[in-house]
Structures are given as structure tokens and as C-alpha cells.
Amino acid sequence: MLDFRNEPFTDFSTPANRQAMEAALAKVGSEFGREYDLRLAGEPLKTPDKLKSVNPSRPSEIVGIHQKATPAMASKAIGAAHAFFPEWSRTDPAVRVAMLRRVAQSIRSRKLEFDAWLVYEAGKTWPEAEADVCEAIDFCEYYALEMERLSGPQPVSQLPGEKGELRYIPLGVGLIIPPWNFPLAIMAGMTAAALVTGNTVVLKPSSETPTIAAKFAEVLLEAGFPERSFCLLIGSGSAIGDLLVEHPKTRFVAFTGSRDVGLRINELAARHQKGQVWIKRVIAEMGGKDAIVVDADCDLDQAVEGVAVSAFGYQGQKCSACSRAIVDAKVYEPFLEKLQARVAGIRMGAAEDPSNYMGPVISDSARKSILNYIEVGKGEGRLLTGGSAQDSDGYFVRPTVIADVEPSAKIFQEAVSKAGSFEQALEMANDSQYGLTGAVYSNNPEHIRQARERFFVGNLYLNRKCTGAMVGAHPFGGFNLSGTDSKAGGPDYLLLFLQAKSIAEKIG
Ligand code: NAP
């Protein structure tokens, strides 16, 4: 059992913490519009083509200006990471572990500042930003502990006349491609896992959240990670992604993002390139259409609360978000009545205002595509609440619930549907190409047993919301087209970044 404890969340209900957060927001706001360099093997670089990241609550505000890497730079980054790999892979794991603990400590000491960057660049409300930052700290601490476990001798049976050994060694250059929705936690987690296991890294963050990545790179350097151990490449995935994935010196790709991009990466990585002497490994964590099943015998108020926070926390943009509620016919109408009242009471507005529960969605294109989807839903079901954009500059979409949707509808994966029995509800929940998270609200022990056995998701929650996985307690990753089930924050994760070497020496 690891001696691991999750980072406690800052309590923003205390006046002192609120004031400290206001001060952090002011400090970060005063840094808006700053220009950040690319980092290519320690070399800071500027390029003529800039990427401007904006505040989704007020898109006229430029949060940071970044350099778009050229394809030649992307290729150079992989080459540089490959050149430093032999030296980095031979560092004492204890040294790398100590560096990672310093990363955790550094983020901890600048927690509210990181919270503020997440509020402004990702549109996270204070508690959502805090959860993201705490998770980043947790990943660093957890993987540091895990590396201590894995860098020691591993158990193998001993044959007479031989000394047997099994040790884990790193893979090579890792390409790290995170999404924007957990722009610190997932980026830091995948990068930390790759570096602490002795791999060198080319980090290509999401184009929506490059400033948070630039801040994280500063922390890596402060913590002692050598300049040559990682490259930070800003630039759109469509412009440099294929080149990075296909490069013959790329040894593995750790990706978290959408299904289509993940499948493309998997396909390209599988193709052998001239000069490539390995089979590339792909760790891909992708989307979900996560369902909450509401049984006839359950605490209906708890179920309504669980659905509301799982569906609308961070504007429903978490991969674990509840997009479908499947409700037993016996409690369907009272459930809808309570849900409508609960959701209609959600306050939405600028993410930096702590009285808002919901902030903006990440971008104008996200807003447009959600609104298009809502229009389809209005034709296929009954609009209970929401259904439109908020009339303001920010990328706001009102919390929307569509009910009475048949399993055959296009919008079935995003709505409230009625089930005739618990068995049918489970079937409907499993009727998806994904299998990331799911929850069941029920007081019926037999139904809970059936859910444990048959609900096909990587992360199943019983009588609680389906978001908010905690590092160490809820290793995270999904089935089917939700990805390779990497179980981030769990005991299997670092092994994905390592290969095992068996050594047998004849003795006597
Ligand atoms: P996305 O569009 O797939 O982008 C993810 C990352 O891939 C970004 O860094 C993006 O860069 C990059 N990218 C885009 N095209 C690429 C290409 N051809 N080659 C290489 N990289 C490429 O996903 P997203 O919108 O950022 O993230 C939201 C998605 O992530 C949702 O589907 C969500 O469910 C999923 N997600 C899953 C998990 C999980 O653990 N399963 C966790 C969080 C999020 P650019 O931004 O520059 O295009």
C-alpha cells in the first residue's frame, strides 16, 4: 500500500482564501498578452507565425502569445530528444524522483496562481481550476512514489546456479499530446510519467491552452529537469501532429483527446517508417458518452444532484461528464421535474466570478457545434431547459436538458431517456461505442450487483456522481473507443512508459 494522500482542496468559502485568489487573479491578469518562447532542447525560439490564446469568458482578452513551431522545428525537437535520451535514461531514478517531487512542491506553492491561469485560459470556475491543479500535484507525487517502487528489484523466481533479475528501463522519446479540458493535470500527469521513468519528451499541448503549458515548462526547469530532457512545441495538431507521430525516432505517443484524433495517431504510429527499429507504443485516452442510470428505488434528490453536477460541472466538457441520464419509468416524471428546477437555478457567467457555477465553453467553434447539436435535439426530444447561447461576448451556452429521447435518436447519447426496467436501463447505458465512466443510483442490492457485473465502463461509480476521479483511489481510463484503458493515477500506469529487461547470470 503506497503512502499517498491527495492534495487537499483550497476552501474558497473562507475570506482569507477568497482574498488570496482575488490577488492571484489580479497578478495573472497583469501578465496578459505576454509573449512566450518555444523551448527546443533548451534553446528559446521565436517564430514569425504566432498563436494567440484568449480568455473564453471575454475573447477580446489575449491571455498569451505563442510561437507556432514549423515542421522543421518539430522534426528537430524529436531529433534533440533522441540525442539526449541515452544520458537521461541513465540518470539515477532517485534523482528523477526528487525532481518530480520538487515539481509537485513548486505547483503547490503557486497553486492559486495556476488556478488563475486555468480560470482565464480554460474558462474554469475557481473550484474546477483548483481540482485540476490539485490533480496535477497528485499525479507528480503519485508517480514519484510509483517510480521508487518500480526502480527497485522486481520479484522473479531463482533457478539453481543462476542469479535472476528483472528491471524496468525507459523506452525512448515520448510524444505527449494532451487536451485542453484538463490543461494542467493531464498534461502534467502524462509528462511526469514519461520523464520520471527516464524517457525524454516532446510536449505538444493543445492550441487552446498553451500558456498553462508554458508555465508548467517553467516549473519543470526550476525543479531541475535538464533543458534537454523535454521540448515544448506549440502549434496546431493538424500542422505538425502527423510529422511528430510518424517520425522514426518517436518511440511512443501518450495522447489524451478526441476519438478521431486518437484513432488517427494509432493508425499512423502503427506504420513502420524507414530507419525505425521498434514498434511504437500508443497510449490513447479518448472520449466518452457517459451515462447515469437512475433506478426506481433510489434517493431521487441525490440522483438529481449527481446528474446535475456531472453534466454541468466545467460546462459538461469533462471526458467523464454525464451526457445521458437513463431513468426508470416509475420515477421518470418526478426526476425530470426536479432536474429541470435544479438546472434552471444554475448561475452562468465569467469564470473569474466565484458566484457563477458555470463558465464559458472553450471556444467559438465549440459553442457553435453545441448549439447545432441542441437544434437537432429540439427536433428529436423535449427541451426541458436552456437550449440557447447567452447574449454576450463570451462563449456561453445555457445549461440544456433534452428529455423523451428514443435510443434510435441521434441525440440519444446526450439526453434523458426512459427505461422500462433496470435491466433495460443497463442495456441502454451499454449501447455506446465508448466505455469511460458511468454511475448508478439505486438502493437495490441486486441491481447494484448487476451494475458491477454488466455496466461496461472503465470507471463505475455507485450512488455518486460520475466525475471527479481521484489519483490513487480511482485509476482512470476507459474501454472500447474511450481508449487503451491506461488507468492514469493507478499502479499500472508507469509500466506503460517502461519496458522490462530480464537478466540471468550463471553463478557458482
Ligand atoms: P482533440 O481535438 O483530439 O485534441 C487533443 C490534442 O491532440 C490537442 O493537443 C490537439 O492539438 C492534438 N491534435 C489534433 N490533431 C492532431 C493530429 N492530427 N496529430 C496529433 N495531434 C493532434 O481533443 P480536445 O478537444 O483537445 O479534447 C477533448 C477530448 O478529449 C474529448 O473528446 C474528451 O472526451 C477527451 N478526453 C479524454 C480523457 C480520458 O482520459 N479519456 C480525458 C480528457 C479529455 P491542437 O489543439 O493544436 O489541435
The closest alpha carbon to 192, from 184, 432, 233, 317, belongs to: 184
pLDDT at site 2: 77
Probe target for ligand 1 pocket from 256, 282, 457, 479, with the most ligand atoms within 8 Å of CB: 256
Other residues' Cβ atoms within 10 Å of the Cβ of residue 340: 17
Task: From 181, 182, 268, 367, give the residue whose CB has the most ligand 1 atoms within 8 Å, as the site to mutate.
Answer: 181
Residue from 455, 448, 440 nearest 307 by CA: 440
Q: How far is the CA of 506 from the centre of ligand 1 (A)?
A: 49
Mean pLDDT by 10 residues, the chain (508 residues): 92 98 98 94 90 98 97 96 98 98 98 98 98 98 98 94 97 98 98 99 98 98 97 95 98 98 98 98 97 98 98 98 98 98 97 98 97 94 94 93 92 93 98 98 98 98 98 98 98 98 95
Q: Looking at the DSSP assignment, which residues form a beta bridge with residue 230?
A: 201
Task: Name the catalytic one among 319, 322, 352, 466.
Answer: 319
User: What's the pLDDT at 413?
Assistant: 87
Q: Which of 128, 285, 352, 414 is catalytic?
A: 285
Cβ of residue 478 lying under 6 Å from some atom of ligand 1: yes
Distance (angstroms) between ligand 1 centre and the Cα of 199 equals 22
Rounded Cα distance between 227 and 178, Å, is 20
Ligand 1 atom with the smallest distance to the CA of 478 is: 41
- pLDDT for residue 41: 81
Query: Quick one: which of 185, 228, 225 has its CA closest to 205?
Result: 185
Active site residue 140: no
Of the candidates 107, 38, 29, 30, which has an alpha carbon nearest to the alpha carbon of residue 66?
38
Would the CB of 122 count as within 6 Å of ligand 1? Answer: no
> For ligand 1, is residue 40 a contact (CB within 6 Å)?
no
- Are 146 and 479 in contact by the 8 Å Cβ rule? The answer is no
Residues with Cβ within 8 Å of residue 401, at least 6 apart in sequence? 311, 339, 340, 343, 383, 384, 385, 386, 415, 416
pTM of this structure:
0.98
At 314, the amino acid letter reads Y
What is the dihedral angle through the alpha carbons of 405, 480, 423, 302, rounded to the nearest 10 degrees? Answer: -70
Residue 285 designated active-site: yes
236 lines ligand 1 (CB under 6 A): yes
CA-angle at 333, arms to 329 and 339, nearest 5°: 115
